[in-house]
């Protein structure tokens, strides 16, 4: 069964080009976790698939599954609840994100 969490907070600091994504439950911890950014047809952020090829895989959804049109690989940091994405402007198309 695929573990899924909802995104409860999403922030982008344009000055540092860092986004933080907060989940409504636990997610894997690590300093360099493989992830896939889930994007809609316009490049908007829909979610994040953490450890997509691992047994500890968790999907964080900010939008509807049906909206996902493509994915982009990225490396993220996680403290177990908050995921940090450096280079978010490019990785998450952060300038287009709907911030929570």
- Whole-number pLDDT of residue 91: 78
- Whole-number pLDDT of residue 14: 87
- Whole-number pLDDT of residue 95: 65
Measure the CA–CA gap between 70 and 43, rounded to whole angstroms.
Answer: 8
* SS3 assignment, position 95: helix
- pTM for the model stands at 0.89
Q: How do the domains of the chain map onto residue ranges?
A: 3-96
Residues 6 or more apart whose CB falls under 8 angstroms from that of 1 comprise: none
Find residue 11's DSSP bridge partners. 20
User: Could you state, in chain order, the average pLDDT of each consecutive group of 10 residues for the chain (100 residues)?
Assistant: 91 91 96 95 92 94 95 95 90 64
């Amino acid at each position: 069964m695929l573990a899924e969490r909802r995104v409860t907070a999403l922030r982008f600091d344009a000055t540092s080009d860092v986004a933080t994504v907060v989940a409504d439950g636990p997610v894997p911890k690590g300093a360099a976790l493989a992830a896939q950014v889930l994007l809609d047809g316009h490049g908007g952020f829909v979610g994040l698939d953490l450890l997509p090829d691992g047994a500890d895989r968790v999907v964080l959804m900010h939008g509807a599954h049906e909206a996902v049109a493509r994915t982009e690989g990225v490396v993220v940091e996680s403290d177990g609840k908050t995921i940090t994405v450096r280079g978010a402007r490019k990785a998450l198309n952060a300038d287009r994100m709907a911030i929570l």
